[in-house]
């Protein structure tokens, strides 16, 4: 049997994709801290922060139970001028956080960050929710992938001084979002910001 260079390259590429798809990261459970904010996980999640595009944003963690295509939870603590996600290319402008943003502008900022990876995100059901003792805003997100898969999400933002603390959960609307929402609600309710 003759092995061609093309077959070897395709095999190597397929193996790389398989390994990347199986990457689980470090399992975390219980309290998870990020730049002064703490959440409590009631079950194991994988810390897959290493999958964020390089250079990785500072003070942003990415957690998942079933992999980033099926569910993702961002835990971020942003300073002015920082963004939740970095665009995949240098020509795409990235949304940046500013300390003087109103609550409505904070929601728009999160929606703009989601738009870096998803199509036509929209926010709704804005409501007050504290992150510990710090007043915040909770809202829902509806979006879809480029392939047309509907994605649902929920986010909580709270500002302490100039730092923006942000929790963002995204998952396919069919099954995964509803299945994990009780866990996510408990995580959001557990969020605390150190004084």
Sequence-distant (6+) residues with CB within 8 A of 182 are none
pLDDT of residue 2: 53
Q: Is 159 domain-assigned?
A: yes
pLDDT of residue 159: 93
Instruction: Give the pLDDT confidence of 41-74 residue by residue, as tens digits.
Output: 989 999 988 888 777 778 899 999 998 899 999 9
Least confident interval from 23-27, 34-38, 66-70, 164-168:
23-27
Q: Is 19 domain-assigned?
A: no
Q: Which residue has the higher pLDDT, 100 or 54?
A: 100
Q: In this structure, what CATH number is given to the domain that contains residue 121?
A: 3.40.1000.10
The model carries a pTM of 0.83
- Cβ–Cβ < 8 Å for 52, 62: yes
* Structure confidence at residue 195 as a pLDDT band (50, 70, 90): confident
Instruction: Give the pLDDT confidence of 130-178 residue by residue, as tens digits.
Output: 998 999 999 999 999 999 999 999 999 999 989 999 999 999 999 999 9
Q: Is 137 domain-assigned?
A: yes
Number of domains in the chain: 1
* Domain housing 45: 25-193
pLDDT of residue 24: 62
Question: Mean of the per-residue pLDDT values for the chain?
Answer: 86
User: Which of 31, 53, 50, 33 lies closest to 42, judged by CA?
Assistant: 31
User: Which of 69, 131, 70 lies closest to 106, judged by CA?
Assistant: 131
Q: Which residue has the higher pLDDT, 111 or 21?
A: 111
Q: Is 13 domain-assigned?
A: no
* Structure confidence at residue 29 as a pLDDT band (50, 70, 90): confident
* Structure confidence at residue 8 as a pLDDT band (50, 70, 90): very low
* Structure confidence at residue 19 as a pLDDT band (50, 70, 90): very low
Question: Is pLDDT above 50 for 20?
Answer: no
**Residue 76 forms beta bridges with which residues?**
60, 166
Q: Is 12 domain-assigned?
A: no
Q: Is 105 domain-assigned?
A: yes
pLDDT of residue 34: 85
Q: Which residue has the higher pLDDT, 8 or 171?
A: 171
Q: Which helix (H) or strand (E) holds 156?
A: strand 150-160
Q: Is 91 domain-assigned?
A: yes
Work out the average pLDDT over 28-47. Answer: 88
- DSSP, residue by residue, 68-127: TTT-EEEEEEEPTT--SS--SSTTS------TT--HHHHHHHHHHHHTTTSEEEEEEEEE
Q: Is 20 domain-assigned?
A: no
For the chain, the maximum distance between any two Cα atoms, rounded to a whole number of angstroms, is 68
């Amino acid at each position: 049997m003759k092995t061609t260079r093309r077959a070897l390259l395709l095999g190597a590429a397929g193996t790389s994709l398989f390994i990347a798809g199986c990457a689980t990261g470090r399992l975390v459970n219980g309290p998870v801290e990020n730049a002064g904010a703490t959440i409590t996980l009631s079950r194991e999640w994988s810390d897959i922060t290493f999958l964020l595009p390089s250079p990785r944003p500072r003070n942003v963690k990415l957690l998942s139970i079933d992999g980033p295509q099926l569910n993702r939870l961002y835990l971020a603590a942003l300073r002015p001028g920082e963004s939740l996600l970095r665009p995949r290319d240098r020509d795409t402008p990235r949304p940046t956080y500013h300390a003087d943003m109103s609550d409505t502008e904070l929601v728009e900022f999160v929606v703009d960050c989601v738009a870096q990876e998803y199509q036509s995100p929209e926010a709704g059901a804005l409501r007050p929710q504290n992150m510990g003792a710090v007043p915040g805003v909770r809202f829902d997100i509806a979006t879809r992938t480029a392939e047309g898969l509907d994605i649902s999400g929920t986010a909580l933002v709270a500002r302490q001084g100039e730092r923006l603390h942000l929790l963002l959960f995204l998952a396919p609307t069919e099954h995964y979002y509803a299945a994990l929402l009780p866990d996510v609600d408990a995580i959001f309710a557990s969020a605390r910001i150190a004084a």
